Structure formats: structure tokens, C-alpha cells
Structure 1
Amino acid sequence: MNSVRSDRGRMVCGAALAAILVAGPAGPAPAQVASEAPAPVAPQGLTEYAAAIVNDEIISTFDLAQRMRLLIATSGVQPTEQNLAQIQQEALISLVDEALQFQELRRVEREQKFEIIASDSDVNEDLAEMAAGNNMTLEQFTGMLRAQGVLNSLREQLRAQASWQRWIQGRYGSRLRIGDDQIAAVLQQQQAEAARPQYQISEVFIDAARVGGMDVALRGAGQLVNQMQEGAPFQAVARQFSAAPTAASGGDAGWVGAGEMPPEVEQALDQMRPGQLSRPIAVSDGVYIVYLRDRRAGADSMMVNLKQMALPLPAQASAAEVEAASAQLIALRSRVSSCETLESVAQGENGVVAGDLGEAAIQDLAPAFRAAAESLDVGGFSDPIRTEAGLHVLAVCGKRAGGANAVSREQIERRLYFQQLSLIARRYMRDLRNAATIETR
């Protein structure tokens, strides 16, 4: 049972904690971590208090203060009277989640007799990458973090992230199967919407269930938007506050098109210009903030792969001859189950010529062929089409967006895979929270 005692109206340690944090390091410019900041003084006696208890494991107010400093130092969000409660809440939620994750990972390690939790060397590799991103050596970077009093908190955050990702992907990744029908459905939707614009976006997603409800998520998102408008880097905010799987890459969601984001987000994007930051966008399970980096028009062309079965027929053929040829092709069409079998079924049929017409842009096809190619789904067969050369039955064997908007099956499969893995991870954490005894003070 999840027992939660919380006094949301008060800050932990009240004004004393607020003063400690406001006096600590301010938010950075575009770099991940502020390069200069006064060394914090550890508050005397702060470790004597419990900010939360997670299944009998104590999270101290000192731990909470250090995590708040870390959020401020790495997100660029400036602490104010208006947002200090949100910073504290996010810091406490992240510490509670990490405690639950480490408890679960230690349980799994005991039961299954293998190591999951990331080692110090694993964490050092992550820190080295962050140091390189800030144009520093590892020694310079860790020295700066140590001076700011956030090194240990960052190390534990990185250890939790790496360990949990390793466990989720190891346990569930090999079991996930993205079916051809799922990929085909996405391709079909993209083909149908190919003429619509596409957007290159970065995203922050606030999970309403994680932060305590939709009202809390909306208020928090509003404060983050205000901070980003005042200069907090989007990437840094996304890394520390977003619950989306793109958080690890600074919220970079790449190019998205129709059907890839919730309808409320797509509607907002339609009204935005490149370089614009959205207001909070409420969806069914949380709140999005999106930054529109670029947009492009829909595909200039739709590419289609065609095969045909044809009966040569002169332009002056009688109506009876056309009718007989049409009946022959329709009967033959009923025996063809797919593009792959078309040529073998047609082989040997009296007078019928069958073959692969290759791939072409739909707008480059003859008008009669173009209408069939536009209206048919992949795997579809046309009615007999009359031309000066004869009668033709077309088979649409593939469609894709042309030009820069083309998306491969591999890209779609990868995106669907990580979407499903992220959903599994969120459900796993929800179950751990529901089963835990969590007291916040």
C-alpha cells in the first residue's frame, strides 16, 4: 500500500532551506553546468532531518538540498519564490524514484545473482562525456561540481539512470516485437498525410501522474516556460524535468509528422513559427512544452512501385473485344494474391503481358495510371484501365514519401520500439510507487 503524508503548503526546513539554495550556484547559460559558482557551505545539522522515507529508507533534507542545487546548476532555471516549490518537488520526486529503482535493482541482483547497478567506472564514463560537452577535462569538470557541492548528487543520478535503463532494456527489450502490421499502419498514415507539413521539434513532457495531478503539471510547465523565456536552455531543462524518453538527448524529438504526436500538440504546431516556444499543452496524461526548431512543407512527390498485367488491344478495337479482354483480366486478377505472385500467375495466360514497372513519382504517371496509384493502398489492384496500347491492371506494390520527407521502415521500427519501451518503464515505476510505503514530510 502506498502511504503518503505530505505538507505541500510548506517548504522543507522553510526559509532556511530556501536561503541556502538561493545563495548557491545560479543557472547556466547554454552549457550543461554553470562554469563559475561560489562553493556552497554545507548546512549544519541538515542531515538530521528526513525529507522522505521510502520503504524505511531515509532521504535526508541534506540530500534534497543537494539535488535542488543540482537541478538549478544543470537546468539553468533560476530559483525564485514562485518556482522554488516546483524545484523542490522535482528534486524530491527524482530522489524517491531513484530510491525505488535502487531498491528494486538490489532485489533483482540478490535473486538472480548478477550485477545490474552501474559501477563507478560506468559513472565516470558518463561524467567524461559531460565534461567533453562542456569543453573540460574530467578533472576540471568534477572539480567544478565538487566546488558547487553537487558532484555526489549527480553521480547518483547518473548511476540510477544508467542502471535502470540497463535493467529495463535487458528485461523487456529482447521481448518487444514490432510487427509488420504496426510499421505498415504508420507508413500508411504517413503516406496519407504526406502533403501535410512536418516539424523538427524539441519536447518537454510533464507526467501528471508523476507530479501529483494535471493542475500541478500545468503550473509546473508554466513556470518552466517562463524560465526558458528568460534564458534557461531548453535542452538543460528537458534533461532534468522531462519524463519523455527524449530527455536524455535534451528533448530532441527530430522530425515528426501527422499522427506522431498527440492531436493537441499537432494543433499547436500548426500555429507556430520556427524558433517559437509553445505555451503548456495539456494532453490526456500530462503536459507538453514544445520548441519548434524548423518546419518543412509536405512531400513534393509520392513515390509508388507498380506492377501490371496487360492485354495488347488496338485503339480501334470493338466494344465487344474490349469487354472480352476486360473480363479475362478481371478473372486473372482474382487468382493473384499479392505483388509477389502476379508474374508467376500471369505467365502462360493467353496474350497477357506481366511485369514490373518499377518506382516512379505519382505526378509523373499517365493520368489514368495516376488516378489508380493515388486511390489504391499498397497491395491493391486496379480495375482494367484502357489506353491506346490496350487494357492494363495495375498493382500497387509500395508507396513512400519522396524527397527529404522519406522515412524508412527501420526508422519507424526504432521509434515504435523506444515508445513501447518507455511505456513499459513508466508502468513499472507506477507499480513500484503503488506498492511502496512513501512518507514525505
Structure 2
Amino acid sequence: MFPRLVLLAMLALVLPFAPAAAQGRFSPVVQVDDTVVTRWQLDQRARFLSLLRAPGDPNELAREQLINEAVQMNAVRAAGEETSPEAVDAALAEFAGRANLTTEEFVTALGQNGVGEETFRDFVTAGIAWRDHVRGRFASAARNSISRDQISQTLARTGTEGGVRVLLSEILLPTTTPETAFASRTRAAELAQIDDDADFAAAARRFSVAPSASRGGEQAWVALESLPDDVRGIVAGLTPGQTSRPVEIENAVALYRLRDLERVQAGAPSDLAVDYALYIAGPDRAAAEAVKASVDTCDDLYGVAEGLPPERLIRETVPQGALPPDVRGAIASLDVNEATTSVVRGANATVLMLCERKSGQESTVDFEIIGTQLLNARMTAQAVDYLADLRARSVITTLQ
């Protein structure tokens, strides 16, 4: 989307930037503890975000970003940490490179649109300083908390479809009436310019009507071939980190962002092996609930069934596709060693427990790659909580 800056530069000649009155341009608008955010910083950041086509109101987003960055940089300084000029220069070059521009070319394009180099540099510096601070604070503990079993479970949950699997995020905008359709198509054209996972997730939470909106639009791994024809063709043309053009589907216009993809060895979802236990508790549902509450693993059910006819406890490992439909449906929502009493057998209540999921075919995904994905997800969640705590303990005063 950044090549649009050239066009925007031309538009700037027709629609010049109207800064705040000269005497008030450096007046404080927000104070975060001892850090002051000025009107000039706020106006500059809003214009910068507008050029990047960030979703939402650029003024509101700019104010929120600058407050967060003040809180973050205060924490970085309190920890005695510094970001080297070399690291900042490398990050500036990487950011500009997304638009196939050098840092100098990118800064020139910004300047033609009324955005100073210092605004770009401050934005990037705050981002890498916070990233390094969070890594130093949480990475070791987060890495130690991720076990090989968790990685195996993640691989197993993704299924084993042969060929290509994709990891998508989605935004669905309604087109149920002519009015909403027009508004949604206009918004979709803007959101299609997003080139950052976090920005896409924020837009999904704000605008999407899909059930995945609360997760930032994130979906689980899915086989490319299982996608609808019109969607599959669009997604197949993406590379990780790209957002699709708007796609018209039933009652909605959709956007898809490809977060990752992988090739796996031949297989099918039915090749996913499931180790489960089904205990027949009898007609009393309360008795089944009591058993469910008393066991922690599948092996515990052997003690419960001791002395009973062998048909009262079924324990087997079978391909997922061979499971009875009601068991397969109930198992899909269970974690390992989690149980449910939702399955019945005749007049009898049961306790169904998932013992293990096993990939029917070996994925070509490296354990280290999955471990890194889990680590990043965990640190992201910790960083969000950490920032919320820092903000709660900061004195934030709105002055304008």
C-alpha cells in the first residue's frame, strides 16, 4: 500500500495540510506521568497514520498510540534499557522496504505529505524498544512454559490434510441491504490496504460480523482445497503477510489475511487418530457428573469401572473418521484429559474423555517453528496484560 504515497504526495499539492495555529502547535495535549505529548506530535502522528491507511479515526488512534508509547518508553527507561542507533536504522530500512523504498525515499515521500522524519523515527523506535523490553522480561519464562507435548497437541489439532494448509484471518462485512452493502464495500476497499497482523486483528474486532471477530479474525489451520472456490482462488495468490482484495460472498464482503502456510505430507482429516475413553455410567445423569468430577485422566476411569462388566468402559484409539458421529462431534471441542457427559447410549448417561490426539501423518512443520509461534502468541498476550497494568499505574492527564 505504501506506493500510494506517491499519489498522496501529488494530492498534497491540491489539499495542503492545515496545521494547528503556530502559537499552539507545541502546546501539551496529554501528560503521562512526566512525559508530555504535544499538539504537534498528535497532528503529525494522525497524518502519518492516515497515509498508512490505518483503520479507524486517525486522530483517536494517534492519541491512543502516543499514550501507550509514553507508558512503554517510561517502562523501558525505568529498566535502564536503550535502543542502539544501528537497530533503529535497520528497523527504519525494514519498514520502508515494505514499500520497495529506501529509508531516504520513504522519508522524502512522507515529507512531501507534511510528515517529518522524526515522526517516522519516533514511531519505529518506540515499537522496537517495547518489543525488546517485552522479550527481555517474558521470553525466558514463556519459553520454559511451552512443552513438547503442547507443540504435539498443536500439530495434532491442525489436522493432516495433504498438500497446502493455510492459516487465515478474516473480516466479514455485512451486505444484507443496499445501504449496508455500499458502506461495507467502501470500508472493505480501505481495509484491504492493511499490511500488519495487529492492525488487521484490530479491524476485525471492530468491524467484522464473523464469529471470529472476538479472536481478531483468526481462524485455525485449514486445507486450501477445502475453501470455497471463489475464496480459494484469492487465497492461493497470497503470500504470508498479505491481505486479499475484497471477496463477495453470501450476504457479506470478505477480506482474508494469510498469516502462514505449510505443505504437509499426504493424508486426510480421517487419518487423525483419537485415543478416547467412554464410560457407561447408567441411567442417572448425576452419577455421570460425579464420575466426571472425580477423574483427571483416562486411566482414572479404570478404577471407576473396576469390577463392572467390561462393556461399561470403552477405551480405544481409532482414526477420527471412524468415530461414531456423536462421539466425533463431542471430541472436537475437548482438550486432552477433558471430559463431557453430553453423549448418551440408549437410556444411559456416559462420561466421554479425550485421552490423546495423534497425527496420522507426520507434518513437515518443524517443532521449532510451532514452538516459536506458541511463544510469540504467549508473549503477545503477556505484553497486552503488562501494558494494561502499566497504564493503570500511570497518571494520564488529558489537557486538550
Tell me which interval the TM-score lies in, with the shorter structure as reference length.
0.5 to 0.7
Please name the residue that 2:353 is paired with: none
Post-superposition offset of 1:226: 5.5
Over aligned residue pairs, what C-alpha RMSD do you find? 4.9
Contact 1:301 1:402 in 2 (8 A): no
Contact 1:75 1:239 in 2 (8 A): no
**Alpha-carbon distance between aligned partners in 1 of 2:319 and 2:170, rounded to the nearest angstrom:** 39
Matched, 1:101 2:83: no
Please name the residue that 2:31 is paired with: 53
Q: Pairwise mapping of residues 123-202 of structure 1 onto structure 2 (< 5 A)?
A: 123-150=88-115, 151-176=117-142, 177=144, 178-191=146-159, 199-202=166-169
Contact 1:401 1:407 in 2 (8 A): no
Matched, 1:413 2:371: yes
Q: AA paired with 2:153?
A: A
Please name the residue that 1:230 is paired with: 189
Contact 1:119 1:159 in 2 (8 A): no
Q: What is the TM-score with the length of structure 1 in the denominator?
A: 0.50
Q: Which moved more, 1:53-62 or 1:182-191?
A: 182-191
Contact 1:273 1:292 in 2 (8 A): no
Residue 172 to residue 398, structure 1, CA distance change in 2 (3 Å): same
Residue 71 to residue 304, structure 1, CA distance change in 2 (3 Å): closer
**Alpha-carbon distance between aligned partners in 1 of 2:34 and 2:130, rounded to the nearest angstrom:** 21
Q: Paired residues, what number?
A: 277
Post-superposition offset of 1:57: 2.2
Residue 408 to residue 122, structure 1, CA distance change in 2 (3 Å): closer
Q: AA paired with 1:88?
A: N
Matched, 1:88 2:59: yes
**Alpha-carbon distance between aligned partners in 1 of 2:201 and 2:320, rounded to the nearest angstrom:** 46
Q: Pairwise mapping of residues 6-25 of structure 1 onto structure 2 (< 5 A)?
A: none
Residue 97 to residue 167, structure 1, CA distance change in 2 (3 Å): same
Q: Deviations over 1:264-290 (max 9, x none)?
A: 8659x98893447599xxxxxxxxx96
Post-superposition offset of 1:420: 0.6
Q: AA paired with 2:231?
A: R
Residue 301 to residue 201, structure 1, CA distance change in 2 (3 Å): closer
Residue 304 to residue 165, structure 1, CA distance change in 2 (3 Å): same
Residue 414 to residue 203, structure 1, CA distance change in 2 (3 Å): farther
Residue ranges of structure 2 left out of the alignment (5+ in a row): 172-180, 204-211, 235-244, 249-253, 274-316, 324-330, 332-355
Residue 160 to residue 264, structure 1, CA distance change in 2 (3 Å): closer
Residue 33 to residue 173, structure 1, CA distance change in 2 (3 Å): farther
**Alpha-carbon distance between aligned partners in 2 of 1:240 and 1:371, rounded to the nearest angstrom:** 39
Contact 2:189 2:246 in 1 (8 A): no
Post-superposition offset of 1:136: 2.8
Post-superposition offset of 1:429: 0.2
Contact 2:168 2:256 in 1 (8 A): yes
Please name the residue that 1:74 is paired with: 52
Please name the residue that 1:431 is paired with: 389
Contact 1:201 1:290 in 2 (8 A): no
**Alpha-carbon distance between aligned partners in 2 of 1:121 and 1:73, rounded to the nearest angstrom:** 26
SS in 1 for 2:231: coil
SS in 1 for 2:194: helix
**Alpha-carbon distance between aligned partners in 2 of 1:432 and 1:223, rounded to the nearest angstrom:** 41
**Alpha-carbon distance between aligned partners in 1 of 2:97 and 2:2, rounded to the nearest angstrom:** 11
Post-superposition offset of 1:173: 0.9
**Alpha-carbon distance between aligned partners in 2 of 1:181 and 1:402, rounded to the nearest angstrom:** 17
Q: AA paired with 1:87?
A: P
Q: Deviations over 1:21-65 (max 9, x none)?
A: xxxxxxxxx236612413746432232433212114221122111
Residue 170 to residue 402, structure 1, CA distance change in 2 (3 Å): same
Residue 224 to residue 146, structure 1, CA distance change in 2 (3 Å): farther
Contact 1:173 1:421 in 2 (8 A): yes
Residue 292 to residue 174, structure 1, CA distance change in 2 (3 Å): closer
Contact 1:54 1:439 in 2 (8 A): yes
**Alpha-carbon distance between aligned partners in 1 of 2:167 and 2:104, rounded to the nearest angstrom:** 36
Q: What is the TM-score with the length of structure 2 in the denominator?
A: 0.55
Post-superposition offset of 1:419: 0.8
Post-superposition offset of 1:399: 4.2
Contact 1:183 1:413 in 2 (8 A): yes
Residue 32 to residue 299, structure 1, CA distance change in 2 (3 Å): farther
| Rg larger for | 1
Please name the residue that 2:334 is paired with: none
Post-superposition offset of 1:143: 2.0
